[in-house]
Structure 1
Amino acid sequence: MKNCYKVAITAAIVGFGLGTLNVAQAATVSLSSSNQGWWSTGLKNSYDNDNYITGNYSDKGFHSFFTFDLSPLTRVSTATLQVQRFNGSGNPTKTLGFFDVSTSADVLSQNVNILDINIYNDLGSGKNYGTFNVTTSPNNYEIQQKEILSFVLNSDAIADINARSGKFFSIGAALLGNFGIGDQYLFGASVNSSARLVVDGDLATVPEPGTLGGAVLATITGLWLKRKRKAFQAV
């Protein structure tokens, strides 16, 4: 994992009474990805590339991944993965699947000048966290750059997030089924955008808020590991 920088996590916390709240019982927490990218069947990645293209491009396959630091959390009840749409190509509708990842987060981050079919396969197989029909992005640059797609993850994802409480947690992504030949992909040219994992759950710790009465908005700033983003063509 590379290059530390700070990012804020905003949690809407419901508390009652006075004094210090040590554990938030009703928090919505949005975590920025600590690492994201792709592994390919035939194209080596570069150090600064956080593009998360998923599908086929230039006769090469791409599976993507998103890694999150769960250290602020103890337990969650819901989880939604949010990613920016960016470019798509090929058939107008594609089936996108999200999967568990057995490859460790530090190994995933070392996708530089390496081809590893086992990691590629790991990102597109195993325990399914949800399957979604996604339309190819409209030919409108403004929409591509601004539209956020939200994917509500299933109970298997929730269980695995809770099992990884306080650690790094990764999600793999792949196009499923016979999605066509040639350039068939989602999330092409995806730069300057971090995926987000939005969860309802409990925070590990909450700073002393002073006087609590009703809803309290707390912002926690932590260190996150992130690589710089760089795009070349679609990938």
Structure 2
Amino acid sequence: MKNCYKLAITAAIVGFGLGTLNIAQAATVSLSSSNQGWWNTITSNTNINDNYITGNYSPVSFRSFFTFDLGTLAGVSSATLQVQRFEGSGNPTQTLGFFDVSTSADVLAQKANNPDTNIYNDLGSGKNYGTFNVSTSGDQNEILSFVLNSDAIADINARSGQFFSIGGALLGDLGFGDQYLFGLSFDSSATLVVNTVPEPGTISGAALVGIIGLCLKRKRKAFQNV
């Protein structure tokens, strides 16, 4: 009983002196792409085409993009881009790079404006969000996960409430012939999976004292029943 009183007094001092107890919980959020596709420097495209082939195909070079509506997302601590493997060709392993995109989301969405050299270049240059070795073989239904680096996380947080786009390009000397990833990638939205740390919630000092008070009440009742 004496210990309970000491605990109540301590809680009162802490609760009313400090006011609140902060609690922060991590959350995982998955966002489907609001738009995705490819840009190149030679051939035409359509706005409804969501194929995100990346690399060289007879003999056009494609670079991909994925756009996400971040909404009110904030406080992101990690981010992973998930895409379906689909079809690959050429070297056993391709080097895939993801990059920041300066082209606005509404311009990217107008894929019917292909070809466009400036947009094509934008999707494979600038800040690198990560470089990955990807096999051109494997289960075409497999979902590949690419953990993005701190530059990507910083840009996601900076664009809270806006659209955020990622560009994709194959890197290195691709040589001759078909060299690509994500061929025939129709009707499969990319996903951005992020972990967030929300604004801390609070438990008031009064609530904490109330909890201790309940403990004391139960303790007294227990003594009365002896």
TM-score of the two chains, using structure 2 as the length reference: 0.75
- Residue of structure 2 aligned with 1:165, choices 130, 155, 160: 160
Q: Which has the higher strand share?
A: 1
Q: Indicate yes or no: 2:56 matched with 1:56.
A: yes
Whole-angstrom CA distance in 2 between matches of 1:65 and 1:25:
32
- CA 1:148–1:176: 2 relative to 1, 3 Å: same
1:91–1:180: 8 Å Cα contact kept in structure 2?
A: no
How far 1:25 moved relative to its partner? 3.5
Number of the residue aligned with 2:175: 180
Number of the residue aligned with 2:127: 127
2:41–2:114: 8 Å Cα contact kept in structure 1?
A: no
- Residue of structure 2 aligned with 1:191, choices 186, 192, 217: 186
Q: Structure 1: 5+ residue runs without aligned partners?
A: 1-22, 205-235
1:72–1:203: 8 Å Cα contact kept in structure 2?
A: no
Number of the residue aligned with 1:97: 97
How far 1:194 moved relative to its partner? 0.4
Which structure's CA Rg is the greater one? 2
Whole-angstrom CA distance in 2 between matches of 1:98 and 1:115:
20
Q: Structure 2: 5+ residue runs without aligned partners?
A: 1-22, 200-226
Number of the residue aligned with 2:116: 116
Whole-angstrom CA distance in 2 between matches of 1:85 and 1:24:
36
1:192-234 superposed Cα distances (whole Å, 9 cap, x missing partner): 2100000001469xxxxxxxxxxxxxxxxxxxxxxxxxxxxxx
Whole-angstrom CA distance in 1 between matches of 2:32 and 2:82:
10
Whole-angstrom CA distance in 1 between matches of 2:195 and 2:85:
23
1:112-135 superposed Cα distances (whole Å, 9 cap, x missing partner): 043110000000001000000001
Whole-angstrom CA distance in 2 between matches of 1:193 and 1:48:
13
Q: Which has the higher helix share?
A: 2
Number of the residue aligned with 2:87: 87
Identical-residue share of aligned pairs (%): 76
Q: List, as ranges, runs of 4+ consecutive aligned residues in structure 1 with deviation greater than 6 Å.
A: none
Whole-angstrom CA distance in 1 between matches of 2:184 and 2:137:
12
Whole-angstrom CA distance in 2 between matches of 1:152 and 1:200:
12
2:40–2:114: 8 Å Cα contact kept in structure 1?
A: no
1:1-57 superposed Cα distances (whole Å, 9 cap, x missing partner): xxxxxxxxxxxxxxxxxxxxxx97311000000000000121111132000000001
Whole-angstrom CA distance in 2 between matches of 1:157 and 1:128:
8
TM-score of the two chains, using structure 1 as the length reference: 0.72
The alignment covers a number of residue pairs equal to 177
**What secondary structure sits across from 2:51 in the alignment?**
coil
Whole-angstrom CA distance in 2 between matches of 1:180 and 1:164:
37
**What secondary structure sits across from 2:155 in the alignment?**
helix
